[in-house]
Structure 1
């Protein structure tokens, strides 16, 4: 294993550093201490050609100006919180409104827009840490948070999250990488095939906030149990697909954990990604709202150029008692993990 680091830019007088881990088989993962952003994942196709399979930029300025959370850690609470407020222990907390009247991905300056402390644990592992102070973006409690990236020689990227707060608060952290297994963005993701061990998905309202209803996937474009192409939902007239801009931006409740519950394949390149997690759900976003006014490493950005598989708790859980809770009690440890295994289709 090799670990290297290089200068990536400056923000407010602080240096942004890129860390790159390369395993013995040539797989390479790069990330920066700004937003814990994964900037590149280079893996082989069926012919052994190494190419990048995530959307990202090669400079800090593009992340600051254009990025729709490319590769970033989102928090304190990923996804939307309706009306940008919540009640906890009888007190109402007003959060930053950065998505109309709602709160999105931690607010105006969430975990994705700050510089984290970085610690190289060994040649395969980097741990990022910071304390989110009480009142940051409206959240209660001083939250000490760690995010650890680790690469193995089995072509596994492991992301683990740990957090402890000195007050009751809410936490729901995810990584927002956009995957495109074609390699170096040769095509869009519409012909990627996704398989999910999920019988149910969460219905969204017109404001893209969960209604609280959990719907069966059966006989809908949301049934990925046997695998299906992404374009099925993009071309669908099913109300939930149309609602989010023709495609998907929905939480799927996972039936199993650490049992190959999420599999993404690209038949053209022969690449396969298996995601395993202890999180209760995955938010599948098919890139319906990607803009076209910037380039990604020389490629014009456009709708459906990448897709996100955000392992996390259900969005807006604080308003829905039937969802897995996002409440973190004072002194208890928030602990989650997700593994991304890259291989070729057998």
Structure 2
């Protein structure tokens, strides 16, 4: 069932024309790539995670290079487990034990770094789509402004927050970053944003940064334990390896400091900087010098100013898995450095640290300015109040204190794949990267992605043996990230609509994310269709090829109570049978659960036209009438007899489609009550031209029939365009808005109980 709003036209790839000079007034929520260009200085930004994808500027000889690590495509950023170029929040850095107390109330956050929370949780601001508010690609001061609304309870944090970031080019080679956040829902909340670009001034992928000289304007730092959690002390850097007050080659100290322990064995010491410095300066709001970095070979230098009390200095210690980056380059350990201006880590648990709390109506501000110099820089000891640089002559000359550059970067053994090869025979351990997986049994095949547990294609023959893909969808994962039509995903935690995004359970009122006008639909703004599922098992061929996916939904996600373990298995069996078995277990709180498989079917082949000539028979003698918001507000369960909703005998879909309204548009978008109990036949659909038929069995009490009413020039697979009634959905489910109708079958699952939803699609031709 599609959201009743005009669908966005999506690009075939997840790119908005980067070379555009900008200036469009309409806000953009699709994921795109935006270029800011000023002469030979340019940056690329994506609104996925407000990420800086590239920063290109000349060296002392005028040769251009990209000086930040990252990926070529947005899809790779979706897959990434790191933080290349992202704006991280709501609270950057670590929070000990994923817990803090604010105004006497304890808050528990999502743990994504052992026992702690890192950079806002599992889906912090780096894993969301930001809205493009303004964009000017060229001119004197090209800029882009992005906006994100963080809802109350997101990743466990209290209160709703409106967040903005502007990236702007100014001066010859200056990049400004202006961030602000306002608490908007009447609750105090911690806010600590950080820009997490990885810098290599010699050019990304050129080797390590051990020869770079770094100067930090910080005479104190915050010591940490082995989990990189501050001890609470603020200690002087004098006499320690952390003293970078004078220009110092990174290699001089990098093996004298520890940046935690190996994530593989939890024991091996990892050497390198990963520490917060207290930036010098009396005015906590003033824009003051933070750092100067120089690369002697390229001649590039970078000066950073900011208005935050701290800066995390990180030297890419964990780039040890041979991460494949832009242009096929491989990033090894110490392949870049990060200068993340910020509030102090874990400040929410250390009252002696500068506060990161903003209260209702207050505005958090975080400004940064990167000033680049493409001239060759001689490394002299600068005056503490100004950057001193000397341009070298064309004769060969070296700075006396610059050590020789290491001959090459240290490389490890494995590449981080952009996509898991769809033809893999499976059997490997759990995978969390986004990939495409094919199940094949003779001339019958199904393509799945673990982004949203989505069915991307179902290919089978017609009566003449001609193969066709009979489900609507997209070609690439990046397009599914953008998708607003719910092509093929598993929707949840609670599919269908919840009136006003509100329900009461065990006497407590819960408010869920509103993403359908005044109501919630399909689990909220980032329901199960917009998350990465873990591949637990995968066998692509044989007698019964299958894939099992897993997702842990955390307490408070999209407003729903309790942690939930969710599984779904897609399996091929018999000659042309697709089974879907899903289950969910409530771990610690009662919660509503209602899964829904949202595939759009066209048995003549996707993009072949409308489905009005398909015949449909439903094993349903009753339905739940809906209001104009597609809510069963009356709570009535009515007979279909004598209405246009009667499909008890085979009937062309188009026979009465103009007699019914799916909200404010003609077409079916209605919940049927399935006759009988247990695993039983729900529906039979047939296309006369191709001879294909689909018989659906399921164990749920109800099914939503949707006839693609809102499809309108929607670009799909293979360059085809989907229009109104171009596909139909048979969505077995619990009753819509059952959480607010005690007369409907309950969808509440209590701790230890297991929700089960099974479907069998039997095809013939």
Output the TM-score relative to the length of structure 1.
Answer: 0.93
How far apart in 2 are the matches of 1:184 and 1:178? 9
RMSD, aligned CA: 1.7
Worse-matched range after superposition: 164-173 or 58-67: 58-67
Q: Secondary structure at the match of 1:292?
A: coil
How far apart in 1 are the matches of 2:13 and 2:353? 40
How far apart in 2 are the matches of 1:42 and 1:276? 20
Worse-matched range after superposition: 179-188 or 95-104: 179-188
Gaps of 5+ in 2: 1-10, 16-28, 262-268, 378-389, 391-765
Within the candidate set 218, 227, 232, 1:198 is matched to 218
- Aligned 8 A contact 1:110 1:137 in 2: yes
Q: Which residue pairs with 1:18 in the alignment?
A: 33
Over residues 86-140 of structure 1, what are the superposed CA-to-partner deviations in whole Å (9 max), with x where a residue is unaligned?
A: 0000000000011111000000110000000002254411100011000000001
Q: Secondary structure at the match of 1:322?
A: coil
Matches within 5 A, 1:18-167: 18-24=33-39, 26-122=40-136, 123=138, 124-165=142-183, 166=185, 167=187
Gaps of 5+ in 1: 1-5
Worse-matched range after superposition: 15-24 or 106-115: 15-24
Within the candidate set 223, 232, 235, 1:212 is matched to 232
Over residues 218-268 of structure 1, what are the superposed CA-to-partner deviations in whole Å (9 max), with x where a residue is unaligned?
A: 1111111111111122222x5x56767211100001113534331011111
Deviation at 1:284, TM superposition (A): 0.2
Residue 315 and residue 242 in structure 1: after superposition, are their counterparts in 2 closer, same or farther (change >3 A)?
Answer: closer
- Aligned 8 A contact 2:164 2:181 in 1: yes
Determine which structure has more spread, i.e. the larger CA radius of gyration: 2
The structure, 1 or 2, with the larger RCO (C-alpha pairs under 8 Å, 6+ apart) is 1
- Aligned 8 A contact 1:189 1:304 in 2: yes
Q: Which residue pairs with 1:245 in the alignment?
A: 270
Does residue 1:9 correspond to 2:23, yes or no?
A: no
Output the TM-score relative to the length of structure 2.
Answer: 0.43
**Whose strand proportion is higher, 1 or 2?**
1
Does residue 1:291 correspond to 2:320, yes or no?
A: yes
Matches within 5 A, 1:181-330: 181-236=201-256, 238=257, 240=258, 245-256=270-281, 258-297=287-326, 298-330=328-360
Q: How many residues align?
A: 335
- Aligned 8 A contact 2:227 2:260 in 1: no
Residue 90 and residue 101 in structure 1: after superposition, are their counterparts in 2 closer, same or farther (change >3 A)?
Answer: same
Deviation at 1:7, TM superposition (A): 7.9
Over residues 50-102 of structure 1, what are the superposed CA-to-partner deviations in whole Å (9 max), with x where a residue is unaligned?
A: 10000011112221223410000000000000010100000000000111110
Deviation at 1:185, TM superposition (A): 2.3
Residue 7 and residue 218 in structure 1: after superposition, are their counterparts in 2 closer, same or farther (change >3 A)?
Answer: farther
Over residues 177-214 of structure 1, what are the superposed CA-to-partner deviations in whole Å (9 max), with x where a residue is unaligned?
A: 00000114212111111001111111001211011111
